[in-house]
């Protein structure tokens, strides 16, 4: 029976570690529910990472609201409830404002 060389084991362990790290790097999409007035159409701005914020987020007449969500990488979707129906706003239609170290502090989008 032939033994596997220690260098081969190190290579195998390195490969397995890299595979596990890439799986751990996957962050799920953050979904935020907002409620707007039936007649509201226009931009909305959400302050993010606000402790104790309502869920679903209530958008005021000026288009402002607060959410406890802190999207890690900008992968965020907004479900806007308007006039009894849900409008889903995809990640590409949402601007995420971040601090210099990458912490999301605000989200801006448009409600049709």
The CB-based long-range contact list for 34-40 (8 Å cut-off, 24+ gap) reads 34/58, 34/59, 34/65, 34/67, 34/78, 34/79, 34/80, 34/81, 35/59, 35/80, 35/81, 35/82, 36/80, 36/81, 36/82, 36/111, 37/61, 37/82, 38/82, 38/83, 40/82, 40/111
Give the pLDDT of residue 103: 82
pLDDT per position as a tens digit, 12-71: 655 555 555 555 557 788 999 999 999 999 999 999 999 999 999 999 999 999 999 998
Domain range list for the chain: 27-111
100 pLDDT higher than 90: no
pTM: 0.74
């Amino acid at each position: 029976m032939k033994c596997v060389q220690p260098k081969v084991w190190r290579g195998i362990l390195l490969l397995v570690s890299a595979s596990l790290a890439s799986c751990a790097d996957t962050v799920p999409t953050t979904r935020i529910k907002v409620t707007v007035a039936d007649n509201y159409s226009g931009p909305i701005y959400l302050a993010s990472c606000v402790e104790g914020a309502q869920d679903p987020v209530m958008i005021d007449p000026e288009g402002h609201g607060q959410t406890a969500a802190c999207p890690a990488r900008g992968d965020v979707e907004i479900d806007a409830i308007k006039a009894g129906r849900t409008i889903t706003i995809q990640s590409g239609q949402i601007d995420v404002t971040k601090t210099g170290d990458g912490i999301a502090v605000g989200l801006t989008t448009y409600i049709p």
